[in-house]
Amino acid sequence: MPHDLDPRLLRAFAAVADELHFTRAAARLHVAQQALSRDIRRLEAALGTELFARTTRSVLLTADGERLLPHARRVLAAQDQLAAAFAPASRPLLVDIGAPVGTALRVLDRARAAAPELELTARFHSGLTGAAAEILAGRLDVSFGRVAGLAPAVLSGLDHLPVRYERMAVLLPGDHRLAALPEVPLAALAGEALYAAAGNPHTAEWTDLAERLFEGRDIGLVAPFPEIDGKDEFARLVTKHRWPVLASTEFIDLPGFVLRPLTAPVPLAPVSLVWRRGLRHPGLDALHAAARRLSVGGGWLSRPAGSWLPASDARLMAPPAGAG
């Protein structure tokens, strides 16, 4: 094993490992695909092994590639930490909040109020799966969402702080048969198909949560649809197609639609503050402090009796051993 590997080669390797697609990885790194392929070959030559099994239709990690990935993540995290330690403190922190409502916005607003001298710049990505790739690529610093829906290789390069269990809801056309109910029992949705962002690769963690919730309940998903870009286009499409939408109880207003909490059981959507492992920034400290204050003050991590949450989510949302 050489001791002088160029970290650029490891970053190229990690990008391909995340995407399992050379063209997408090259676009993510803003390099030509030929240059990326050349870097991967250089890394393989330096290590004396193949890291990817390539065919004309797929790219997969080899056993040695799987073995290298956690080590590469640690090296890159250390490099990022070193760069952050000597970066100007005034650098804006790029924070993905997904939508202009909800938990992420409330944490961001509290952090801005507490530390007005810092620049916390909002981005509005559509989901944590897509945002996590941007964080690992260094184009985004922080996001919010369901970490249990991320691939283990992606999650290994991130840290997260559990913030809230959001109560899930359904957004219904105003004349829907269930719209007059104050709360909608899950059993009442049998035979319905709900929009849960199926077909959007950036929100895969949300679609996965919906599939787990609907399993065995005769509730379907709206057929996969391309990524919807922006609030206005979302409103147009949902209104046109009259899709019931799986949502949280804090959601954008949509004229002609009503938002109803789900019940029997009460399904929960776990939200964590997520950042690149090794990141150091006073803005991140401000977000941590804001998230903890809101979480404790609002009882955000208390689960109501009879609630629903996948076991994998409950494990990742549990506080570390010894935490107060």
Q: What is the 3-state secondary structure (H, E, C) of 190-221?
A: CCCEEECCCCCHHHHHHHHHHHHHHCCCCCEE
> Alpha-carbon distance 291 to 293, whole Å?
6
Domain with CATH 3.40.190.10 in the chain: 93-164+272-293, 166-267
CB atoms within 10 A of CB 228: 19
What value does the mean pLDDT take over residues 269-293?
Answer: 94
Query: What pLDDT score was predicted for residue 38?
Result: 93
> Alpha-carbon distance 241 to 236, whole Å?
9
> Alpha-carbon distance 120 to 284, whole Å?
9
Q: What tokens does 94 get?
A: 């790029």
Q: Does 132 have pLDDT greater than 60?
A: yes
pLDDT digits (tens, 9 = 90+) for 84-126: 666 555 689 999 998 888 999 999 999 999 999 999 999 987 7
> Alpha-carbon distance 92 to 117, whole Å?
11
The mean of the pLDDT values for the chain is: 91
- Contacts for 55 with CB less than 8 Å, ≥ 6 apart: none
Q: Are 168 and 249 in contact (CB under 8 A)?
A: yes
Q: What tokens does 263 get?
A: 């019940």
What value does the mean pLDDT take over residues 265-270?
Answer: 97
What value does the mean pLDDT take over residues 161-176?
Answer: 97
| CATH 3.40.50.1360 correct for 7-85 | no
pLDDT digits (tens, 9 = 90+) for 45-69: 999 999 999 988 889 999 999 999 9
Q: Are 128 and 150 in contact (CB under 8 A)?
A: yes
Out of 3.40.190.10, 3.40.640.10, 3.40.50.300, 3.50.50.60, select the CATH number for domain 93-164+272-293.
Answer: 3.40.190.10
Nearest Cα to 132, choosing from 160, 174, 104, 92?
Answer: 160
pTM: 0.74
CATH architecture of 166-267: 3-Layer(aba) Sandwich (3.40)
Q: How confident is the model at residue 178 (pLDDT cuts 50, 70, 90)?
A: very high
